[in-house]
Structure 1
């Protein structure tokens, strides 16, 4: 456990653990032998470098961040002569500072003419947590700043084509770290809907318990209720079939019955299917 969370740093040819985190973890184990590992480094000011990278990321950098979080590597030129003032002047400088400050570790290096290129990866689970947490906070901030009324209007008016288009556009701007599993899309969609005005948003992450993935309800039964069921397709061509599968599940599980019993008569039902950063919605 300690190796997975706090190992992965190199001094010369020696691989070392993060001493600050190990000391804190050992201290917590001294007080409680069942203590679980935590990201002790996550509250330090140096995490601003990760936040700057995420905030300035273009499409290609977002893809590289996704690759790193998934356990893959990236290759970047290394410049040891840059100063702190140069840190965010270019993307390459940011990658360099992430390496120099321990947010990336060296896998191997090679030289092309005068430039050294480094293959790098995230060193351990503690640092991976920092990347993930930074991405989540960035996404939440973007959602708060975004004008999402066109999405909300399309949901309440039944415009499935517009819904799919807006969700796909927003997916292109996000950074995924769940390898496009259903839990990622669930969190993405719930996050997009959390500011939908006067509607109550109920998010259910557990499958197979007789409740829809996401439910929107107007506080008064005179208003609308919306059922959204999410599916993930393995191919772009399979999106429509997954939408239909989601709609069948809504009917078979009788998700609308509870709403009808509450008194709702205007109930919209959507099958929402995702493939990577593409979305399709059917009703």
Structure 2
């Protein structure tokens, strides 16, 4: 669900109601496609209660709040723990990005994909770009904690095309980042490694770095990353590449140590 749902859950945990539109007839098959389905589900199982209800055909507009003290206790233990576990992935991914450790990024993303099995089981029904969109959104979520020091831009025109993600440092002495995502095309590529290389090639050939250069970032401080995907398989290549084999071995050890 969108990032602002975390804020709304935090509001509930302070004892404050939030105003929502509820579909009381929601069914499980539509949970993924309806942004309000989270609240419909929580209301249906009794974790939240509805007040100031206004009904209009199949929709119910109301203020919702946590049902009782027992449920509030559950929210504070179970849900806070869920968000805390997510912070580990954020930290591992952003640490890997800033330290130019592609192996660590691959590890974090494959771990998350492993727990998203149901998504990939149904992705074939959501269009050919569904896995690419999943990973695009996943990476945006993983780097959201960088917003204090970076401006994060998605799907913006630069050079001769439109990049997927660019990360502009507020401190122009720091590295900037361009990220491009591609799903394996079986007519052009045989492996996700080739797909990642093609994503990196697109950054170069379409001159995506032009906007960062105009912003004042030196060329040697622009870090380019190509991501290749095939289901749960992920590969990342970079320009410049990881420095040497020792860094790669050290990065794999860090990835295990920080989990």
Coarse TM-score class (shorter-chain normalised): 0.5 to 0.7
Deviations 1:196-226 (A, max 9, x none): 25222112289x9722101111112222110
* Residue 154 of structure 2, aligned match among 183, 203, 226: 203
Does 1:277 pair with 2:250?
Answer: no
User: Would the alpha carbon gap of residues 47 and 261 (structure 1) be closer, same or farther in structure 2, given more than 3 Å must change?
Assistant: same
CA distance in 2, matches of 1:41, 1:243: 35
Secondary structure, aligned partner of 1:191: helix
CA distance in 1, matches of 2:135, 2:207: 23
* Residue 103 of structure 2, aligned match among 144, 155, 161: 161
**Matched-pair contact (CA < 8 Å) for 1:143–1:191:** no
* Residue 209 of structure 2, aligned match among 248, 256, 260: 256
| Deviation at residue 169 of structure 1 after TM alignment | 0.8
Match of 2:113 in 1: 171
Does 1:233 pair with 2:179?
Answer: no
RMSD across aligned positions (CA): 3.7
Mark the runs of 5 or more structure 1 residues left unpaired by the alignment. 1-18, 22-37, 52-125, 127-137
Mark the runs of 5 or more structure 2 residues left unpaired by the alignment. 1-22, 26-33, 48-58, 60-78, 125-129, 239-259
CA distance in 2, matches of 1:163, 1:42: 30
User: Would the alpha carbon gap of residues 222 and 43 (structure 1) be closer, same or farther in structure 2, given more than 3 Å must change?
Assistant: same
CA distance in 2, matches of 1:186, 1:150: 17
Secondary structure, aligned partner of 1:281: strand
CA distance in 1, matches of 2:152, 2:161: 17
Alignment TM-score, normalising by the size of structure 2: 0.52
CA distance in 2, matches of 1:219, 1:260: 14
CA distance in 2, matches of 1:50, 1:163: 39
Does 1:217 pair with 2:168?
Answer: yes
Alignment TM-score, normalising by the size of structure 1: 0.48
Q: Which has the larger radius of gyration?
A: 1
